[in-house]
Amino acid sequence: MRIAIIAVFVVLVIYTIVQNKRQVQNRILKRLKDNWGKCPQKQFSMDEYENVSHYFKNGSQENVIDDITWNDLNMDEVFKSLNNTNSSVGQEYLYKKLRSPQQSSKELKETDRLAAYFDQHEKERIKVQKVFCKLGYSRRISVSDYIELLMDLKVGGNLLHYAALILLLAAVPFCVLYNPVIGIWVIIAAIAFSVITYYKCKAGVEHYFVCVNQIVRMLMAADELETLSIEELAEYNQTLKKLTKSFAGVKKNSWLLETGTVNGSIAEIILDYIRMLTHVDLIKFNHVVKSLNHKSKEVYELMDTLGFVESSIAVASFRKQLGYWSRPELIEESMGHCSLEVEEIFHPLIEKPVANSIHARRHVLLTGSNASGKSTFLKTIAINAILSQTIYTSVSKHYKAPVYRIFSSMALKDDLSNSNSYYIVEIKSLKRILDAVNEPGKPVLCFIDEVLRGTNTVERIAASSEILSSISNHRALCFAATHDVELTTMLNMSYDNYHFQEEVADRNVLFNFRLFKGPATTRNAIKLLDMIGYDAAIIAGAEKKAGHFLDKGTWEY
């Protein structure tokens, strides 16, 4: 009877475990299907999001999207709209990818190939996504930080751990074969020695255990991807197989490194006591650290390979969000001539965007009133250039341009921490663009909004015309927006004029956000003052002075 009750209990436990596992798998499957082709809703704390950027920041800073440009264009939100990943490895690689425009089309076309495959093969895509769900997210710090911590760790010796183990093993036969009373005291002493030395040594390296476990999880993910035997991933599976083989010593018996009651099971609790008495996890840890020495290149190759695969899935999902998109045509610049052609281009973060087209053979100068669409248009072109050169995706019907180095000077602020005024911040920002156009390498694509707005009119126009003219004399393509209509004439030999316009009717301002050729001709700023109820005398005086200046070229006092 007792055996039957125990048997029933065991069956119920097994059934519960199986059912729970099945429910978890069903929830994961539903989430993957529901989130496909939709803007991700992941929430980040400030610290968590900062960690995402560390893989990029820990690497080379050549030919990257710098912080000013990234912040000007609100690329954090663009990244979040793309981030349909399920692991820290994937999202850290995706962030790095968006900040590292490619200088050749090889990797871009490979991203496109995998993205197209995952878009068309849901069954295989979900299998791969499940692998990355198991890999999961690291806590507290980024994956690259874990790797850096581990690579800087000095290898510890195992002599003390082996001595504790030998002392414990020797105490048992001493108790049995010689004097039981003394033997018990020897066993107690051995246990005390093991426990004390264990916690003393463990305290110094415990936080590194999670670093090793992160690498072990990546190796397990690599093994799972291989077992899927997806033909389109054959090249990556070969790389992963080579890497997992080189880390065979790391993965073997890695379960010894688990700390605490991971799942609360009796087996795990017992294993914790075994670790404490025998130091097997510390011995294994030192072997792992030794085997990882001088293998940082291989560890990062493992991360890059896994990250590239998952980031390609995120690209496919992002493309699915868009009403339309196109593969960019990245061309070689001819005779130093820079150009850009886009058809029906739109901003990927605007819910109901207005699409525009432009064939820029020369530099572009934009005019128009506030809120008419100038800044949004600059950001639209810049974001598309970045997406074209990072994930081979343009949110337009056609994109054709050379490979550029991309810079902007737009949404600047006072730097109070360094006691820099807006004007100082602005001229420093513009200086880095001027430095870039004078450096060798790919041509520069730059975006400047309201040149030198932080100073007086006379000096602003004089300096702005020289800065923009200087850029035009180099291998660059500049898109600049200004309220200074004088620049449309001063720069007409090197800049083509475009504008946005609005209508004021029935005391309402109507913007169509359409791009038009030529400089802005409407003057509605004073009309807007009237529209919202300014005193009639102010309106009349402003109109009179504006008319006098346009007619005589001087201000009436």
- pLDDT at 246 > cutoff 80: yes
- Average pLDDT for residues 409-427, to the nearest whole number? 69
- pLDDT at 313 > cutoff 60: yes
| pLDDT given for residue 2 in this prediction | 64
**Domain 329-520 falls under CATH 3.40.50.300:** yes
**What confidence tens digit (pLDDT) does each residue in 335-372 have?**
667 899 999 999 999 999 999 999 999 999 999 887 78
| pLDDT given for residue 258 in this prediction | 62
Q: How many helices (H) and strands (E) does the chain have?
A: 22, 12
- pLDDT at 521 > cutoff 50: yes
- Average pLDDT for residues 197-222, to the nearest whole number? 83
Structure tokens at 52: 């995402």
- 98 HSE (CA, 13 A, CB side): 29
Kindly report, as residue ranges, where domains of CATH 3.40.50.300 are found in the chain: 329-520
| pLDDT given for residue 479 in this prediction | 97
| pLDDT given for residue 416 in this prediction | 46
Q: Which among 446, 404, 416, 364 is positioned nearest to 68, based on CA atoms?
A: 446
Q: Predicted confidence band at 11 (pLDDT cuts at 50, 70, 90)?
A: low
Which amino acid makes up residue 99? R
| pLDDT given for residue 178 in this prediction | 67
- Output 422 or 388, whichever has higher pLDDT: 388
- Cα–Cα dist 483/520, whole Å: 9
**What confidence tens digit (pLDDT) does each residue in 184-202 have?**
777 777 788 888 888 888 8
> For strand 444-449 and strand 476-481, is the pairing parallel, antiparallel, or unpaired?
parallel
Which of the residue ranges 44-58, 141-155, 191-205, 264-278 would you say has the lowest mean pLDDT? Answer: 264-278
**What confidence tens digit (pLDDT) does each residue in 457-514 have?**
788 888 888 999 999 888 999 999 998 888 888 999 999 999 998 776 666 777 788 9
- Output 343 or 182, whichever has higher pLDDT: 343
| pLDDT given for residue 16 in this prediction | 65
Q: Predicted confidence band at 175 (pLDDT cuts at 50, 70, 90)?
A: low
Q: Give the CA-trace dihedral at 51, 57, 59, 62, to 10 degrees.
A: 150
**What confidence tens digit (pLDDT) does each residue in 54-69 have?**
999 887 778 899 999 9
